[in-house]
Structure 1
Amino acid sequence: MPIKYSGVMFEPLEVKALSDYRIWIRYADGEAGEVDLSHLAGQGVFELWEDTQKWEDVRIAADGAIRWSEEVELCPDATYLKLTGTSPKEAFPKLKSTAHA
């Protein structure tokens, strides 16, 4: 079972920047592969990625976030869902919907 950071269920162990705004990421449960983040590139704080050197500076922060800077980070749970194609409902079965019928 992965170590749980504050709210993080899926522990990232390794991350590497690839071309075309993709990252390669490996998680503690053995899942690994590429995640395409091109849909975020150039938008708001993600303009930072337009600087190739800053894009390549991706790392795993102490809290488990996938981080490029103090202002630019992604939740590792979200990248895990994107990588595996898992829905939030499947990944977090104990979450309750706040929607009312």
Structure 2
Amino acid sequence: MEWDVVDVKPQSEHTLWVRFQDGVEGVVRFNSSAFRGVFAHLLDQALFEQVAVVNGVVTWPGDLDLAPDAMHAEIQRNGCWILT
């Protein structure tokens, strides 16, 4: 799919750069309010930086991932997806 992620790199604190199969690229930022529930452990920057792409999806250890279709749509519109 066009929204399959092909590359992800941690940037500054709690920020990722992503590129999709169709060439769209941009930034994903986690606001401090996003670190609750399943995302709480990602507040640790060392764990946050363990991000990888698995089958076109941004993932972390422990089966935590981000919806690539929602991420793609927001980055295509605004160049950035801010998780709150």
Q: How does 1:1-101 map to 2 (within 5 A)?
A: 4=1, 9-38=2-31, 41-62=34-55, 64-85=56-77
Give the number of the structure whose residues are more often helix, by fraction.
2
Q: Alignment identity in percent?
A: 28
Unaligned runs of 5+ in 2: 79-84
8 Å contact 1:20–1:38 — kept in the other structure? no
Q: Which has the higher contact order (CA 8 A, sep 6+)?
A: 2
8 Å contact 1:42–1:50 — kept in the other structure? yes
| TM-score with structure 2 setting the length | 0.77
CA offsets 1:13-56 (integer angstroms, 9 cap, x no match): 10011223221001111111212232663211111111111100
The number of residue pairs the alignment matches comes to: 78
| TM-score with structure 1 setting the length | 0.66
